[in-house]
Structure 1
Amino acid sequence: MSLTFNHLSADSFESHLKAGRKRPRVREPVSCWQCRTRKIRCNREAPCKPCQDRGVSSECAYTTSKDKDGQSQPVSRAHSVSRPSKARAAIAGSPPKRSNTITAAASAPAAAALPEVRTQTQTQTQTQTQTQIRTQTQTQTPSPSPSSRELTPETPSAGERRDLIPAPGRNVFQGSSVKTRMMGLSHWMAPYNEMIVVKAMLDRAPEFQASRRSFAELKVLVRACNALPPSELSGPTKGSSLRGLLPDRETCQQWTLQYCRTYGRIYSIVDPAALDLEMDQICAGSLDNPVNIAVHLLVIAIAMQNVESERLNGRRLARYVEDCIHMSPRFQKPSIAVVQVLLLLTVLKSISASDTDKIYDLMAIQGLTIQIVSNMGLHRDPALFPDMSPYHAEVRKRLWACFLRCNLAYCIRSGSQFNLPLSESDCPLPTTANLRYLDPATANGAFDFDFESDDKAEGDVAFTIAATKLAKIIAPVYQVLYSTVPPELGKMQNDLRAAFRTLLSELPPSLSPKSKIEDPIRMLQQSVLMVLMDSFSSVVTMSSTMGTTVGISERSQLLEIWDYTSSVLHKFQNLCQLGGEVGNMAVHLLWTHAGRAALSACSVVRRLRTFDLNRIMPPHPQQSVYIFQRLLVDSLIFLSQLWQSRFHLGPLTAKINLILAVCLKVTASLYSTDYDDAERIRHELLAEGVEAAEKEIADMKLKLQQRQQTVRPADMFQVGQQQYSPFSSPGLSNMGSSWPTKYDMVGHSEVSSDAETPPFQNHDFFAMDFQPDAAFTSMISNFNFPTEGAVLQDSAMTFVGDPAVVSLMNEMNQSVHTKAE
């Protein structure tokens, strides 16, 4: 017989006496916080016997879920914050709900020293009294020993609270009615929230309304000049379809050699000897695997990014490969060649995102790469796999090292969390062995082009090993910064400095910062390591000052940030002044660090300037802050000239150029005003920023119109119809002469380079709708758009094919003439 409740209804279980909302339940403490966390028996005294035996009597507290004021006290998982107990509530004058010997014993001594409070109208007095008693208790209570602090959870002191940085509170959220995006601590634009003028411009201040509209028009023009035609691939792709995209054998060889001499020395993804051998097989028709052909296409595409006239051709080839990845099942089977394709595509999209503002296009590729790497067990020791040749074992080690570096670089660049579980990885570091001699197929083979010497190859592998070690040092600290547990900033900084010193002592002489290096690529490798150390150290230090009002006591932290940022700007400027391929690659690889350093330095100088406003005597020209301002102006002049020559490469380069122009004008005007009122200085700086923004946007429009008269974007899309010649291209041979040098800091010529630009990650300020006026219509009618179909992802205008552009221009001209009449 089963038990049923058919004779009952739902009303049988409902109470007929409902007095509104149920009050939250507050349980009386039966154990102190220390005993409850350790799950041991407490004798319910104050202090209890277990706490006395452990020597932490001052930490014995009976906590509740809410304090006297009704505000919740969050308890961290790592550092438990002691909350006011019922004993302290009794001290303040509010008796507990029921008699308790613990609270009575604890409250009796202190309650006798205070006047009785019987009425509820004196709530404010009770709160003030409670605060005074808490202050007296904290002052008279001796602090526990360092050993007991490590073993027991405690209430952080005032000094320790300064070292605890709640990571979620330091993130900057940008939102609108259609999107919400978080910029983490490592995002290059994170310091802008501490800048008055730049923040006003990005947050749609009324003073920048005209500049916003004018810049939105400029962004449409820049996108039109750099738009890629839609892909022509449809349906499943085979090796023959990708084979038709490859140029002739000699041209492929030249581009491959170009890659091996530049980006191949930064990322050890492919083996040059294996590439040359596969190219012979592809040309002979014996190799028709689309995965292997895609590797060669991406190598050519990456090499093209150092030549401005060929960069769009390379990105179009990469888009064909990306379409194949999503359509062909061969690219979804775990293999070494598939991982090489995904890593090469990651490198190329990172480069192109610098001027296209599409860093988040890497999300799909990153997810697929993580899945393939996990299925292959690339993070495990190759010795665990039986019958694996030494060549493939070494290739697996290098691929895992490159994957770790690329994934961490993407997270730092986009300001997102790094979620790779490094504790589960046991893959050792690569060795300095030359892959050419490990593979029997290439050990004794004859090749058409000369490889780099064995010393250079060994030095490049040493750089890969050092960069991987640096990534393993930064990754755990980066995860702590983005966790919900507030980290101990002081201890974390000390550990990070010690790890960096150890890494510097282990560097080979070819990468040591004290050695004299003549190879430009080796100088770039050395600078990549040094810049990443200084840049990440500034992020860690800046995390304690962002979003807070820094007083004069925190001046040392600002000076430390200045040291890191000035070092980054100095190294970046030295690399860019080398010109040529090295200068171009420096912008591709280090632009986020340079952008973050520039904004952070501007924020530091502004805060130090606010300290001078409280001085009785005006700042002397020999003071450090005044010198910082002049040095920063010199660095901003170089960066501004550099991006003025690159603004036409994409909407992002134009945005960076605009930001640098405003920062330069405002920073140069910090000490030009004699006002002592901070609010008056703010209005003056806003006026300076508005003037600089309007002037820079007008200059970019004029230069873009002049450039468009001599360059046709349609000439850049003849993929498969022209013979590539990287060494005869004027963009490669004459690239070094167009970079600004320290001897020519005034000329603003059109630079023939295709380096990257920092991502202004789709801020609402630059994604606004606008109505084109007559001036804009007359300007855009003189532009020559691509003859093939080009779809612009913009909320304002859409160009589809040449006929649509013509019809759109005619309609706009007719509307303008009608209004004029």
Structure 2
Amino acid sequence: MTMSESGPRRRRPAVSCTLCRRRKTRCDRKVPCSNCVRSKNAHCVYTSHPSDHPRRPDHGQRTELVFAQADGRNPYLSPVDQPSLSKPSTDAGHAAASIVGSSTNAPTPTSQASGREVEAMKSRIRELEEQLAKATQGAPQASVPAPVVTVSAAVPVVDQSSLTYVDSQLFGETQVITRSIIHKSRMFGQSHWINGIIGLCRDIFEALEPHIVDETSKAISGVQKCKALARVIKSRRTPSWPLSPTSILPSKEVADELVDCYLRTFETVYRVLHVPTFRRDYDALWVSDAEPDIPFIVQLKLVLAIGATIYDEQFSLRASAIQWIYEAQTFISEPAFKSRRSIQFLQTNILLLQARELVNVGADAIWTSAGSLYRSAVYWGLHRDPANLCKRTTYVVEMRRRLWNTIVELNLHTSMLLGAPPSFSLHEYDTALPGNFDDDQLAADAPVPKPDNELTQMSIARALCKTLPVRLAVARFLNDLGSNFTYEEVLRLDAEVRASYKSLCRVLRECNASNGPKSLQFAIRSVDCIMHRYLAALHMPFFPVASRESTYAFSRNVVIETSLKLWNAVCPSSLTVSPRPHDSTQSPYPDDLTRLTVCASGFYRQLGMQAGLSVATELSAQLQQGESLGPVPLRPDLLAILDAMRAWNLRVIEAGDTNIKSYLLTCLVTAQIEGLKRGIGKDQLVESYLQTVEDAEGKCYAILERLAARDQVEGMIGGIDPDAFDISPEGMDDWDFMMTDVLLNQSAVEPTSWMFNEIPQVPLF
């Protein structure tokens, strides 16, 4: 609470429970109240904490103390020990408590007598400010004018499943920003795409809640029918565990195309294989009568699994890809340690991580697996540059550098993807950047790296690697709880990301990468998406509040413009065209990135979903805030994305994804915007929501029925027995991490439980 020299004003005490106040609904003030009873809320809490209604400081005010409820632990740290603007000292907390106490009571002789104590507390606060200024001296200065010295106590606010921090003040403004979300014993940091989208969806489902409390409603029954059918489909695709590797492969014609799909896409961005060596062993596999080498067979099947995600537009080999990943996971899990310390074993681990993300096999745990792989690489010495170790051939030196670079990139990639803190820092290794070699050069004696301005098979990976420091700084800023989360830091990192991106573009232009082989076009577009993803993630936490606070208008503009670029990269207008069957006579280089976005899960799918929902959020905000005597003008390019989103999400289901949540959410968002454009009332808008849900569920159920029939008739290729698949709890877990239940899981009472309810799970704690 702030103080002014004219004395405090009396505030009307809060009489509603916390849930009703948050929802802005009438509370009957019972214990529990009727709204909590209807919502099955186990905790109906009434509170009148003084921080519930903070007041703005006067123009002459120098110090503002903002308080929030802590989670039971002592949140205060000494400014010397923790030189962050978000951590006050214990004495400052006691001082503020005294000030709050004296300012909320009527003047009495006792309070007048304690005036000297209040002045002493103010003096103590000034001393702490001076200590804080000395402790933070030398920190990077923001590129914006610094406000009057303010101290904001960023004590964590625990609202059941969410942890929020009070954002540091900028130009006198204070905002509460969600730092992380806890869901099903998992914590997602701010880089997780769902953090910036919660506000858009909550309004829709809160409006729907009173109309879908009955389990016999058509909306609920339709969702449950789709879920039941989806679980049957997934159970048929999921093999029993463990599953030992076999030498069974698809036909050579299919395998050749799958290998080519992988080599022209992911291998050009994240270097894993020495292509000539891999090609030699692959060709020998088909002509040799000897017993096949199981480690190479496992590695090959992972290459096939990744290539299957862009083999055709229907992901017809999805079940086979899952089978190959299960075999590789069984092979990796065997307790044979000494015999596994080889380059090939690291390559197999890297390919397994990529395949699990793209095919969505345990994709929500790849960050922990990437950390385990990183520690294995450190234990085997890959974090030391080979020049500092014993003498090795150029091939071994460069492969060690390439694998280390890829392992570090995957750690950072999974950190941003799942909203987890990075598991490494730059000072932990001294491995040099891989040389600018083509793969064929490594087989020669004493090869000489090509100049940086000459295009090689390593040019794209090297250019991306040079941006690693700034990308790592962004990931730490977003996902580390101890980061100095201020808007000034956002602007500073924004400038660094843009400078790094400009340097990357200059390097690729100098080596003429844009006019290089067509097989490199996927890599160029992927790197472009990666850099824009970091820029969007940096500003996304401020995007929901930017429509209300002009201070963050820059973040609003960055998110929208970046979303447009990402959508045009991964979901171009061609997605609205009906899918064509696979035709081996078409161009040898189809639009792999577009096909990957539709068929595969993980990073590229999230790019499309986040970009589309960000655009929808902007359109909704413009309609709700626009003041015009006529229709509110909307940008045609944003409206075009909104229309394409539904077709894109429907194609994702047609390609074999059993998760209907993305499509259902997109339809609801579209219905909201259409209703706001027509200016219809709240009741009519709710009716539109209900009709939209029923129509969307009908379309999805028809597609899922076709998928179930196709899987039952076709089975799988490569001699795999469909009877090996059974219905197990593991096979019926989360539909897809891309659209997790965390969507609106921000309180104990969930208006979305009817839509996002899953099989109960035993909590971790």
TM-score by length of 1: 0.63
Q: Is the 8 A contact 1:510 1:517 kept in 2?
A: no
Query: What per-residue deviation string (whole Å, max 9, x for no partner) do you get for residues 123-145 of structure 1?
Result: 9x989x979x979x99xxx9999
Find the aligned partners of 1:199 and 1:224 in 2 and give their Cα distance: 30
Query: What per-residue deviation string (whole Å, max 9, x for no partner) do you get for residues 30-66 of structure 1?
Result: xxxxxxxxxxxxxxxxxxxxxxxxxxxx9999xxxx9
* Corresponding position: 1:627 with 2:625: no
The alignment partner of 2:701 has SS state of helix
Q: Is the 8 A contact 2:615 2:641 kept in 1?
A: no
Find the aligned partners of 1:60 and 1:309 in 2 and give their Cα distance: 63
For residue 523 of structure 2, what is the aligned residue in structure 1?
525
Distance change (3 Å), C-alpha of 1:647 and 1:696: same
CA offset at residue 668 of structure 1?
Answer: 2.8
Aligned with 1:321 (options 325, 328, 334): 328
For the pair shown, which has the larger CA radius of gyration, 1 or 2?
1
CA offset at residue 652 of structure 1?
Answer: 5.5
Distance change (3 Å), C-alpha of 1:425 and 1:93: closer
CA offset at residue 273 of structure 1?
Answer: 0.9
* Corresponding position: 1:581 with 2:592: yes
Distance change (3 Å), C-alpha of 1:60 and 1:636: closer
CA offset at residue 648 of structure 1?
Answer: 4.2
The alignment partner of 2:193 has SS state of coil
* Corresponding position: 1:461 with 2:464: no
* Corresponding position: 1:195 with 2:200: yes
CA offset at residue 270 of structure 1?
Answer: 0.8
Which amino acid in 2 is paired with 1:195? L
CA offset at residue 586 of structure 1?
Answer: 4.3
For residue 606 of structure 1, what is the aligned residue in structure 2?
620
Q: Is the 8 A contact 1:463 1:525 kept in 2?
A: yes
Which amino acid in 1 is paired with 2:496? A
CA offset at residue 759 of structure 1?
Answer: 0.9
Map residues 39-438 of structure 1 onto 2, 5 A cutoff. Answer: 77-79=82-84, 81=88, 84=92, 118-120=108-110, 150-151=137-138, 156=150, 161-162=169-170, 170-173=178-181, 175=183, 179-197=184-202, 200=205, 206-207=211-212, 210=217, 211-228=219-236, 231=239, 242=246, 244-247=247-250, 252-280=255-283, 282=285, 284=288, 289-307=293-311, 308-327=315-334, 329=336, 333-353=340-360, 358-363=362-367, 365-438=369-442
The alignment partner of 2:181 has SS state of strand
Show structure 2 runs of 5+ residues with no match.
1-60, 141-147, 153-166, 576-588, 722-734
Count of residues paired in the alignment: 615
CA offset at residue 186 of structure 1?
Answer: 1.6
Which amino acid in 1 is paired with 2:350? L
Q: Is the 8 A contact 1:185 1:543 kept in 2?
A: yes
Query: What per-residue deviation string (whole Å, max 9, x for no partner) do you get for residues 778-810 of structure 1?
Result: xxxxxxxxxxxxxxx9569xxxxxxxxxxxxxx
Distance change (3 Å), C-alpha of 1:87 and 1:395: closer
Q: Is the 8 A contact 2:560 2:615 kept in 1?
A: yes
Map residues 795-814 of structure 1 onto 2, 5 A cutoff. Answer: none
Distance change (3 Å), C-alpha of 1:288 and 1:400: same
Which amino acid in 1 is paired with 2:347? Q
CA offset at residue 335 of structure 1?
Answer: 1.8
Q: Is the 8 A contact 2:646 2:663 kept in 1?
A: yes
For residue 645 of structure 2, what is the aligned residue in structure 1?
639
Find the aligned partners of 2:122 and 2:368 in 1 and give their Cα distance: 53
Distance change (3 Å), C-alpha of 1:90 and 1:481: closer
Q: Is the 8 A contact 1:172 1:193 kept in 2?
A: no
The alignment partner of 2:572 has SS state of helix
The alignment partner of 1:182 has SS state of strand
For residue 699 of structure 2, what is the aligned residue in structure 1?
699
Find the aligned partners of 2:468 and 2:371 in 1 and give their Cα distance: 19
* Corresponding position: 1:537 with 2:535: yes
* Corresponding position: 1:661 with 2:675: no
Aligned with 2:492 (options 475, 491, 494): 494
Which moves more between the two structures, 428-437 or 456-465?
Answer: 456-465
Q: Is the 8 A contact 2:659 2:736 kept in 1?
A: yes
Find the aligned partners of 1:91 and 1:342 in 2 and give their Cα distance: 58
Distance change (3 Å), C-alpha of 1:171 and 1:714: farther
- Percent of matched pairs sharing the same residue: 14
Distance change (3 Å), C-alpha of 1:187 and 1:87: closer
Q: Is the 8 A contact 1:172 1:184 kept in 2?
A: yes
The alignment partner of 1:337 has SS state of helix
CA offset at residue 424 of structure 1?
Answer: 0.9
Distance change (3 Å), C-alpha of 1:165 and 1:644: farther
Distance change (3 Å), C-alpha of 1:373 and 1:514: closer
Query: What per-residue deviation string (whole Å, max 9, x for no partner) do you get for residues 710-744 of structure 1?
Result: x243523243379xxxxxxxxxxxxxxxxxxxxxx
Which amino acid in 1 is paired with 2:739? F
For residue 479 of structure 2, what is the aligned residue in structure 1?
482
Distance change (3 Å), C-alpha of 1:324 and 1:163: farther
Find the aligned partners of 2:503 and 2:707 in 1 and give their Cα distance: 49
Distance change (3 Å), C-alpha of 1:651 and 1:200: farther
CA offset at residue 547 of structure 1?
Answer: 7.1
The alignment partner of 2:187 has SS state of strand
Find the aligned partners of 1:524 and 1:202 in 2 and give their Cα distance: 43
Distance change (3 Å), C-alpha of 1:327 and 1:631: same
Q: Is the 8 A contact 1:92 1:130 kept in 2?
A: no
Find the aligned partners of 1:482 and 1:165 in 2 and give their Cα distance: 23
Query: What per-residue deviation string (whole Å, max 9, x for no partner) do you get for residues 653-676 of structure 1?
Result: 4221111111222123323216xx
CA offset at residue 258 of structure 1?
Answer: 3.5
CA offset at residue 408 of structure 1?
Answer: 1.8
Q: Is the 8 A contact 1:291 1:330 kept in 2?
A: no
Q: Is the 8 A contact 2:455 2:511 kept in 1?
A: no
Distance change (3 Å), C-alpha of 1:645 and 1:150: same
Find the aligned partners of 2:279 and 2:212 in 1 and give their Cα distance: 58
Distance change (3 Å), C-alpha of 1:249 and 1:700: closer
Q: Is the 8 A contact 2:303 2:351 kept in 1?
A: yes
Distance change (3 Å), C-alpha of 1:293 and 1:203: farther
Q: Is the 8 A contact 2:438 2:457 kept in 1?
A: no
For residue 9 of structure 2, what is the aligned residue in structure 1?
none
Q: Is the 8 A contact 1:569 1:597 kept in 2?
A: yes
For residue 592 of structure 1, what is the aligned residue in structure 2?
606
Q: Is the 8 A contact 1:643 1:657 kept in 2?
A: yes
Distance change (3 Å), C-alpha of 1:705 and 1:295: closer
Distance change (3 Å), C-alpha of 1:473 and 1:60: closer
The alignment partner of 1:507 has SS state of helix
Find the aligned partners of 1:164 and 1:540 in 2 and give their Cα distance: 22
Which amino acid in 1 is paired with 2:345? V
TM-score by length of 2: 0.68
Find the aligned partners of 2:433 and 2:539 in 1 and give their Cα distance: 30
